[in-house]
Amino acid sequence: MRAIFGCAGTTLGAEERAFFRDTLPWGFIVFARNVESREQLTRLAGDLRESVNDPFAPVLVDQEGGRVMRLKPPHWHERPAAARLGSLYSDSPDAAREAVYLNARLIAFDLCEVGITIDCLPVLDVPVEGADAVIGERAFARDCATVIDLGRAAIQGLLEGGVLPVMKHAPGHGRATADTHLALPRVDTAQDVLSATDFVTFRSLNHCPLAITAHVVYEAIDPQRPATTSPKVIRDVIRGEIGFDGLLMTDDISMNALSGPISVRAKAALFAGCDVVLHCNGKMEEMREVADEAKPLEGLPLKRAQSALAQLRPAEPFDPAAAQQRLAQLLKAA
């Protein structure tokens, strides 16, 4: 099915197990509410895969570092926010690239240990003055060149660590003046400016195997619909100008930036050109609504999903203790 679902708690309930068995979502996503310990999370990831009878079913997480971390101390290391890593760049681009790469490798190491195979990272948005703080320190920098350079290092680190990266939020969330968890932002910037700034980071890293959409209206392109449900934005910008041909998933459709019943949101996103609907809150009634609209994964969306998963490789040799020490040295030197 063209859906990624969350679950309610730290164990998989009987109703959830039966629902997943019957609907066969493409993958699952875990949040802090689903996490207690390494052992528990490993069991949960295994149970999710068992529910769809697929030992390779994708399990995703938002593990960025900073304030967006689902796997937290004391069981996991604190990871720096992207802006903290990006702050190294002006003095030493090489040190910044190394720090971002090592951080991504360390995140991947943590995720592989518990059976998580996809991380919703890197954030390729370029914040501007006056934008809402929802992106803020989650971005590497406020200039495109730095975001591209460090985004590339993050993608490499995750891939070499055995985890698939997801670039977000296409085609650019940096100008949003509202938190999309709460409201729908509208951006009135001219399209040529968007192309030269917001879109260029995604265009430069369009080889990333997966991407997440932005719940943002770009008035110069489609004043009626946010990117997630806009055929024009997806066709002309994400697939066209940016040239992204990987698996495109929505941002969480339960966020308040979108309006209307969950089933209508799911239908609109799939009609617009998203390959997969992401629904995160674990509410069974809403998941059933999504399932009514998210038909079987087939055709071009299936090919994109298969192509993305084909890029998943076993982690390359890695010494996490040495990497942690080196990353600490780089951050201290800043």
The most distant pair of C-alpha atoms in the chain lies apart, rounded to whole Å, by 54
Peptide bond into 74 cis (omega under 30): yes
Q: What is the CB neighbour count within 10 angstroms for residue 34? A: 23
CA 102/CA 81 separation, integer angstroms:
13
Per residue, the 3-state secondary structure of the chain, as one string, reads: CCEEECCCCCCCCHHHHHHHHHHCCCEEEECHHHCCCHHHHHHHHHHHHHHCCCCCCCEEECEEECCEECCCCCCCCCCCCHHHHHCCCCCCHHHHHHHHHHHHHHHHHHHHHHCCCEECCCECCCCCCCCCCCCHHHCCCCCHHHHHHHHHHHHHHHHHCCCEEEEEEECCCCCCCCCCCCCCCEECCCHHHHHHCCCHHHHHCCCCCEEEECCCEECCCCCCCEHHHCHHHHHHHHHHHCCCCCEEECCCCCCCCCCCCHHHHHHHHHHHCCCEEEECCCCHHHHHHHHHHCCCCCHHHHHHHHHHHHCCCCCCCCCHHHHHHHHHHHHHHC
Give strand pairing partners of 5: 28, 279
170 and 202 Cβ atoms separated by less than 8 Å: yes
Q: Which residues are catalytic?
A: 181, 251
